[in-house]
Amino acid sequence: MSDLFSAQEGIASHGIRVGIGGWNFAPWRDNFYPAGLVQRRELEYASRHVTAIEINSTYYGTQKPATYAKWRDETPEDFVFSAKAPKRIMQARSLTGAQAQIEDFIGGISELGDKLGPLVWQFEKGRKIDRDDLAGFLKSLPRKAGRRRLRHALELRDPAIIDNELLALARHHDVATVFTDSDEHPSFADLTSDFVYARLMRSRPIDTGYPGPELDQWAKRAREWAAGGDPQDLPHIGPPTPLPKREVFIYFISSAKERNPAAAMALLQRLDQAR
């Protein structure tokens, strides 16, 4: 592999992964991907400059198992994909009635093998959630695919259901609640599983997406999360929940999307320098 594809290789370690949402985005061909790079090699390039990617296309439709296998084989050994669950599941009238669709989604995406990270179950803004239906849904989520553990992250955008009862429910089912660094959606950093899932949504049209001091602060929080801490400068619903250590997933999503790869690489650089 040429130097073109190795700038960040090896940076994923110590339980912290940093990435972006997807890899096919036209503006990145002007400020992230090298000039002349063919589109079919964009995943190959991106996966060597960040350490994880959240697949957003799965929200709109699942892929063939062979496609997941192709993505698996194009990325480095220590790379990880997260993925958003399909919209047809998340918008189902009865969550507990979507079991067949859940199994179909997981059956295909399991082709990612050891590169399969957390699955994100995102409820869009305006979707009112019945607590009993949610409890049944969380109970039904598969915990394994073959011998591989499955990890689940829940992103809720209905403020009415976000309370201590929700946190207790998520902890009971060992499901992480997504921290969204956002003014538009509920944003709470309470920890409910043995991994952290953060979707950062405040990038701006500046070179590194986030100002340097903010990236420094996110590096500090990421290290604290990974060590088992619970950063108290972030908004919480309940008391802190320390653990011996956690795996951490941080994605730069939305907002000034054209700058998200730069933000991810700048954060990775800070984490690497800190080590």
- Select from 54, 143, 147 the least CA-distant residue to 103: 143
> Structure pTM?
0.93
Q: Which pLDDT does position 127 carry in this prediction?
A: 84
Cα separation, 208 vs 14, whole angstroms: 23
Q: What is the CA radius of gyration of the chain?
A: 18
Residues in CB range of 117: below 8 A, 6 or more apart:
17, 52, 80, 81, 82, 83, 151, 249
Which pLDDT belongs to residue 242? 82
Q: Give the integer Cα–Cα distance in Å for 81 and 55.
A: 7
CATH number for the domain that contains residue 129: 3.20.20.410
Q: What is the number of domains present in the chain?
A: 1
Dihedral sign of CA atoms 30, 32, 36, 41 in order: negative
Give residue 148's domain range: 3-274
Q: What values do phi and psi take at 27, rounded to 5? A: -60, -25
Residue 9: the pLDDT is 43
Q: What is the pLDDT along the chain (275 residues), one digit of tens a residue?
A: 333 334 344 444 479 999 999 999 999 999 999 999 999 999 999 999 999 999 999 999 878 999 999 999 999 999 999 999 999 999 988 888 899 999 999 999 999 999 999 999 999 888 888 999 999 999 999 999 888 899 999 999 989 999 999 999 999 999 999 999 988 899 999 999 999 999 999 999 999 999 999 999 999 999 999 999 999 999 999 998 888 899 999 999 988 999 999 999 999 999 987 65
